[in-house]
Amino acid sequence: MQAAIFEERQNQIHRKGDKPFAIECDKDSLAGAVSQRACVFCGSRVVLYPIADALHLVHGPIGCAVYTWDIRGALSSGPELHRLSFSTDLQETDVIFGGEKKLYAALGELIDRHQPKAAFVYSTCIVGIIGDDLEAVCKKVSAEKGIPVLPVQSEGFKGNKRAGYRAACKAMNRLVGTGDTTGISPYSLNILGDFNLAGEIWLIREYFNKMGVEVVANITGDGRIDDIKRAHGAALNVVQCSGSTMELAGMMERDYGIPSLRVSYFGVEDMAESLYAVARFFKDPEMMRRTQELVKEELATLLPELAEYKKALTGKKAAIYVGGAFKAFSLVKAFRLIGMDVVMVGSQTGTNADYEELQSITDEGTIIVDDSNPLELSAFLQEKEVDIFVGGVKERPIAYKLGVAFCDHNHERKEMLAGFAGMLNFAREVYSSVMSPVWRFVPRKTKENCHD
Amino acid sequence: MTKMLPPRYLSTTNACKLCKPLGACLAFRGIEGAIPFLHGSQGCATYMRRYIISHFNEPIDIASSSLGEKNAIFGGGPNLKLGLTNVTAKYKPALIGLATTCLTETIGDDVPTILSEHRRERGENSATDPLVVQVSTPSYSGTHMEGFHAAVLATVEQLAQGGPKADSLNLFSGFVSTADLRYLKEVMADFGLNATILPDYSETLDGPALLEYQLIPQGGTPIAAIRAMGRAQATIECGATLPAKTGGTYLAETFQVPNQRLGLPMGIRESDRFFAALEKLSGAPMPDKYGQTRGRLLDSLVDGHKYVFGKRAVVYGEEDLVVGLTAFLVEIGVQPVLCGSGGQSGRLKEAIRAVCGDLLQDLPEIHEGVDFFEIEERAAQLRPDLLVGHSKGYALSRKAGIPLVRVGFPIHDRLGGQRILHLGYQGAQQLFDTIANTLIAAKQDGSDVGYSYM
């Protein structure tokens, strides 16, 4: 096992119960370690991607734009401009003489063609080096075209994914406060950090609607520029995936005095608690009663169905490796609800507080890991004899190659996993991978069977 | 006849190309015991892994020097050295395929100097350190295909050696599928040819289920075989739009290994050329089984010719692949109306003219440096019956209601992209069946009657 871990990374891995809790995190990835992380640009692109009526122009050579073309399952109920991939496709001469001219022309061309409500211009590594003045170009185009044109300072090398989240939040914060807030209910909120994968945000909106709360802006899922502009009229921000959008909530609290709540829509406990927290915030007994009613109704149909899955899955072992640690909290609880044990849990971008929370909710012996890599992940899967691994596209082949079941819980997924209905889908996803007969034929199991 | 060319745009929308380092990573993955390594920021390696995984459904580890802000200002040398040391310690590779990115090209890192410093600093360790093949792949000049060919050339330049002639043949088959590579190996074996295929990712990107995780999977072109490429009897390199300088031309100039350039062996005539070349090199006739396959292919073309004749196709993807596909389409009576690629070799038009020969009166529109926005605009005018290319044409296919025959890379919306066979008579057979059945299905599904016979 030790062979799989770089000396420099030993403090980024903790085994619960081994020694007092301590973990290093929020560091630059170790060179040569094949981190599962992407870069600053990725962080920005993730957060802004679902704003569906904006133009997302990637200023740089083609790679950054082409690898993020329609890669996410973030749905829109209307325009789908976010599903197109726009690039200035910088060439050698642009690198030598500067890319500002091309950027200016490309912006004009694309804004005329698509008539977006706003444009985000992402800076990539090379732009940071050649020193294009994004701010100036954006300002000029904005004045000419009469829409907000916002630079996103997302040069890949300037930190890790978290820095990209910050850049995205800064860009969005420039929009907030520029719209008309008349007519917004005192019982109102913005949804931050849900990306409307497979339409999840529509489900969450419906819950809030039933509670009697108006949703002003679903900022990061099925997002619209005009909604974001008037988001400062809401009474509350509810923030999921706090790593990515807590910063925006912070800015809105500072500038407009809007408080925020951290929530999670994954798993029964966290979903219910999130709704209750909102009801408690508004201090309205009627609303609380409606919320209780809603939860009761949902659980009445959900729990019996979950019980069936639990029967089959109890005692199976799960490993989790996701982008943000907040999702991992909910997943630990969700697995417990269906009788499964989490034996490894990690994230790309967790903070110290996140990992402390993870260690407090997991069992003895659970491996907690920050910014992991295939070397470690494959070793952990084998050591812990894991039955299912939860992660994204880059984790999937590691699991499959070893004959381990897999559940995709990343932005590429096409299954709705949030909300009460999402919990059932999650159980079904886990069940349909873990219980597949194919595992009986892979080397891992055929070997086990030989020992029997 | 001159065609009206569409207006050109400054911006790129839905590109029909990938970036240069990605091609280099794919090529390096096809060397035995090798790990691709990108000198740049962490995101490049991760994005490319994700992109490649989504096609092959296989792990692909690409190491990175993970440059941060300080490195970008003061130089990426220390991180590159640390990365090389770390990847050597944990992956124990026989070779590191080191490609640069736009970041490190622009900050001006002098990779050869950093590498020699690194060797010196490693002292005694350097004796057992892996080989490093280094290639410059700034993504602002050229596509993934230029990156692929550059990595192959760099590998040959930095490893191949001269010496007494060996009884071997070099084959640079280009960026083909893993099924294609397996097919080529079978062909070579059947001809009794001792061929070195570079790169060979047929196992490293399409391996079996395993008991133990292999950090570097089995397979790939053996390093010893690459070293021996300078002593081969001859080289064949496939691709109708290859750059002027390639692995094949280098071996010819440096070690006087005769180099023969052929198109990708796709369809009847291009496959005939390929097999004829092998007959000549091996001195043996084409094994009967290939003759049989060819015969069955011709028989099936007759059976199905009416279903495909006169159908209009838009063909897109890498230039070499587009040429190969077009060569076959015109043989079966399909009318290519647009041939497009994000690549800009400057050779696409000539290559297409050459493979169409006398089978086509009017050349199709041919676009280099095209993106899917332009392809879509032209498709609205050209009204094709069929799209032939990778899965990024799906958005157009869906919007315009034109069926898509998936070939090449990437196939992100179907299983088995790596198992698609494009080459030889057998590949042509699979292509023909797929194309004919796609057209038959479109007619059947669109029919009021729904005939249950063709």
Least confident window among A156-160, A217-221, B162-166: A156-160
Q: Report all structural domains of chain A as residue ranges with CATH numbers, in order of start.
A: 2-25+314-413 (3.40.50.1980), 40-173 (3.40.50.1980), 188-294 (3.40.50.1980)
User: What average pLDDT score do residues A95-111 get?
Assistant: 97
- Paired with A368 in beta bridges are A14, A345
Q: Is B73 on the interface with A (CB under 8 A)?
A: no
Mean pLDDT (chain B, rounded):
96
Q: What is the DSSP string of A74-118?
A: B--SS--GGGS-EE----HHHHHH-SHHHHHHHHHHHHHHH--SE
Least confident window among A158-162, A200-204, B390-394: A158-162
Percent of chain B scoring above 90 in pLDDT:
94
Beta strands in A105-180 (DSSP E): 118-123, 149-152
Q: Could B61 and A374 be called an inter-chain contact, meaning their C-beta atoms sit closer than 8 Å?
A: yes
- Among B10, B138, B143, select the one facing A102 at the smallest CB separation: B10
pLDDT of residue A381 exceeding 70, the answer is yes
pLDDT of residue A117 exceeding 60, the answer is yes
pLDDT of residue A85 exceeding 70, the answer is yes
pLDDT of residue A1 exceeding 60, the answer is no
pLDDT of residue A242 exceeding 80, the answer is no
Tell me the per-residue pLDDT of B366-419, one tens digit each, with 9 for 90 and over.
999 999 999 999 999 999 999 999 999 999 999 999 999 999 999 999 999 999
- Give chain B positions within 8 Å (CB) of A29: 42, 64, 66
pLDDT of residue A314 exceeding 90, the answer is yes
Strands across the sheet containing B12-13: A149-152, A118-123, A54-59, A86-87, B12-13
Q: Could A61 and B140 be called an inter-chain contact, meaning their C-beta atoms sit closer than 8 Å?
A: yes
- Give chain A positions within 8 Å (CB) of B66: 28-33, 35
Q: Could A110 and B13 be called an inter-chain contact, meaning their C-beta atoms sit closer than 8 Å?
A: yes
Q: Is B220 on the interface with A (CB under 8 A)?
A: no
pLDDT of residue B2: 40
Q: Could A39 and B41 be called an inter-chain contact, meaning their C-beta atoms sit closer than 8 Å?
A: yes
ipTM of the complex: 0.95
- Among B47, B68, B395, select the one facing A38 at the smallest CB separation: B47
> How would you class A299 by CB atoms within 10 Å of its CB: exposed for 0-12, middle for 13-18, buried for 19 or more?
middle
Closest by Cα among A308, A29, A46 to A166? A46
Tell me the per-residue pLDDT of A257-310, one tens digit each, with 9 for 90 and over.
999 999 999 999 999 999 999 999 999 999 999 999 999 999 999 999 999 999
Would you list the domain boundaries of chain B?
A: 20-159, 169-282, 301-445
pLDDT of residue A272: 97
CA pseudo-torsion sign B193, B198, B202, B204: positive
- Among B48, B90, B210, select the one facing A6 at the smallest CB separation: B90
Tell me the per-residue pLDDT of B235-287, one tens digit each, with 9 for 90 and over.
999 999 999 999 999 999 999 999 999 999 999 999 999 999 999 999 999 99
- Give chain A positions within 8 Å (CB) of B69: 157-159
Tell me the per-residue pLDDT of B344-354, one tens digit each, with 9 for 90 and over.
999 999 999 99
- Among A89, A398, A443, select the one facing B209 at the smallest CB separation: A443
pLDDT of residue B8: 78
pLDDT of residue A413: 86
pLDDT of residue A292: 98
Q: Which fold has domain B169-282?
A: Rossmann fold (3.40.50)
Q: Which residue of B has its CA nearest to A69?
A: B14
Distance CA(B308)–CA(B385), nearest Å, equals 10
Q: Could B44 and A447 be called an inter-chain contact, meaning their C-beta atoms sit closer than 8 Å?
A: no
- Residue numbers of B between 142 and 181 with CB closer than 8 Å to A: 143
User: What average pLDDT score do residues A202-220 get?
Assistant: 97
The minimum CA-CA distance between A254 and chain B, rounded to whole Å, is: 29
Does B410 sit behind a cis peptide bond, omega within 30 degrees of 0 on the bond before it? Answer: yes
Q: Is B390 on the interface with A (CB under 8 A)?
A: no
User: What average pLDDT score do residues A39-58 get?
Assistant: 95
Distance CA(A49)–CA(A83), nearest Å, equals 8
Q: Is B85 on the interface with A (CB under 8 A)?
A: yes
Q: Confirm if B101 and A125 have CB atoms less than 8 A apart.
A: yes
What does the DSSP 8-state code read for residue A445? H
Q: Could A95 and B49 be called an inter-chain contact, meaning their C-beta atoms sit closer than 8 Å?
A: no
- Paired with B132 in beta bridges are B96
Strands across the sheet containing B169-172: B195-197, B169-172, B234-238, B259-262
pLDDT of residue A2: 54
Q: Could A64 and B57 be called an inter-chain contact, meaning their C-beta atoms sit closer than 8 Å?
A: no
Written as six digits, the tokens of A256 are 């407009």
Distance CA(A191)–CA(A143), nearest Å, equals 30
Distance CA(B293)–CA(B426), nearest Å, equals 6
pTM of the predicted structure, to 2 decimals: 0.96
Q: Is B42 on the interface with A (CB under 8 A)?
A: yes
Q: Which CATH class is domain B20-159?
A: alpha beta
pLDDT of residue A122 exceeding 70, the answer is yes
- Among B65, B106, B392, select the one facing A31 at the smallest CB separation: B65
Residue B48 phi, psi (nearest 5): -70, -40
pLDDT of residue B4 exceeding 50, the answer is no
Q: Confirm if A41 and A164 have CB atoms less than 8 A apart.
A: yes
Banded pLDDT at A450 (limits 50, 70, 90): low
The minimum CA-CA distance between A151 and chain B, rounded to whole Å, is: 17
Q: Which residue of B has its CA nearest to A111?
A: B11
Q: What is the DSSP string of B170-183?
A: EEE--S--HHHHHH
pLDDT of residue B17: 98
Q: What is the DSSP string of B377-440?
A: HHHHHH--SEEEE-GGGHHHHHHHT--EEE-SS---SSS-GGG---SHHHHHHHHHHHHHHHHH
Q: Confirm if B395 and B372 have CB atoms less than 8 A apart.
A: yes
User: What average pLDDT score do residues A26-42 get?
Assistant: 89
For B301-445, CATH number out of 2.60.40.420, 3.40.50.1980, 3.50.50.60, 3.30.360.10 equals 3.40.50.1980
pLDDT of residue A5: 87
A3 vs B234, residue with greater confidence: B234
Mean pLDDT (chain A, rounded):
94
pLDDT of residue A10: 92
Cβ neighbours around A360 below 10 Å, total: 10
Banded pLDDT at A216 (limits 50, 70, 90): very high
Q: Could B102 and A61 be called an inter-chain contact, meaning their C-beta atoms sit closer than 8 Å?
A: yes
User: What average pLDDT score do residues A65-73 get?
Assistant: 94
pLDDT of residue A448: 62
pLDDT of residue A449: 55
- Give chain B positions within 8 Å (CB) of A398: 59, 213
The minimum CA-CA distance between B390 and chain A, rounded to whole Å, is: 14
Q: Could A66 and B215 be called an inter-chain contact, meaning their C-beta atoms sit closer than 8 Å?
A: no
